[in-house]
Structure 1
């Protein structure tokens, strides 16, 4: 009579150890560390959610606002969760502050991020402003230390814009472009720094927006001399670089 030896349950702590155990015991399935990691993430994403308790109107609204912010952040290439060892989620987006008047929210995710066996874990905070304007939904990444919408907007607004408003000068905005009232001599300054899709038509005095994705802002008619300043925010992803905002 033939006997079959059944391997004991593996005591593994990582995808690498699991892949090695499968290969040593002749077990079927995808054995690469990359394949196992992908399989675990796919299963986690498809796992049915546990029945949720009845939520209040406020809770449902918060959930919807965070869901909308998450979708826009992902569309722009941003991170919406912090992953620890073995791809365990250690922090997910949550609503931190809301400005009802401006219809802007601040969402954050905080947790311990795992890099590699050579690099220790690091506590990180992700923070984003999210809202809707005449071009549709928008989202920008701000420092993780931000705790209020007001604080994040202050960090996001260029100093030149703040100074101009303090002086009582007129300031108009089109997405991440500010048009600041100036002298006739400086009229049109900053046009070479305008982001792709924004065009200043000096002959008609219109600032127009024609982006590739079709999400365009309304044209701005500026009858007085103006100079242009571009808003800057953190680049989506893990970079610390500053790029055009929204």
Structure 2
């Protein structure tokens, strides 16, 4: 059987060989191991860098998932052996629909159930936003249509002016109905200056809306974040 070459010896055997033969160079086992690692690194092929477009998509998804998590939403469906994470189903005009479809595991005593999650995500003048929509939604247009109150769609069809500030719509109306409608706590209607202002507790805020014509307010409603199916205000 041929004797192995010096390069094939273990670090410990090589250290002993160099010492016995009084050869120059690093003789300790540790020094030889470090030297071999450095040489291996020089010959290791560089890690491929994903294309710019791919990295941008990954960053966009990470930002969207972080915003959904911040608002208390689920970002994956836990199965028995693996989880199904959210992914971008469609993206356009600065808004994306994120979806996840998978079997949810409830334990050995309960049968798994197919679950669908869907969210709309985007950015406006107050920063990132995310709302939950029915899991059956597959496009941004479907999600936006579901999210828009019927009274808003009716007003737009009739040619009336509509402005939006987060989850509040200001719909052009008659002078007798000016200022009507319930506003969320973070929104204030200042009739004397005709301004709708937004002052949320977390510090984010939309630009004030100046509404010189008579308006009534409608609040957007969406599915509450989390596993429940209750209703919640949007953003």
State the partner residue of 1:74: 69
Secondary structure of 2:66 counterpart: helix
1:125 to 116, 127, 147: 116
Give distance in 2, aligned partners of 1:128 and 1:52. 34
**CA shift at 1:53, angstroms?**
5.9
1:170-194 CA distance string (max 9 Å, x none): 000100000000001111110xx21
2:80 matches 1:97? no
Q: Would the aligned equivalents of 1:110 and 1:124 in 2 still touch at CA under 8 Å?
A: yes
Q: Would the aligned equivalents of 1:81 and 1:89 in 2 still touch at CA under 8 Å?
A: no
Corresponding pairs, count: 190
Give distance in 2, aligned partners of 1:215 and 1:244. 16
1:179 to 137, 157, 170: 170
Larger radius of gyration: 2
1:89-128 CA distance string (max 9 Å, x none): 33101111001x3x01111112110113332100111111
Give distance in 1, aligned partners of 2:48 and 2:106. 35
1:138-172 CA distance string (max 9 Å, x none): 00001111111111100101110001001110000
State the partner residue of 2:107: 116
State the partner residue of 1:12: none
1:205-231 CA distance string (max 9 Å, x none): 111111110100111111111000011
2:217 matches 1:228? yes
State the partner residue of 2:56: 61
Mark the runs of 5 or more structure 1 residues left unpaired by the alignment: 1-50
Give distance in 2, aligned partners of 1:59 and 1:72. 20
Give distance in 1, aligned partners of 2:102 and 2:160. 43
The alignment's C-alpha RMSD in Å is 1.5
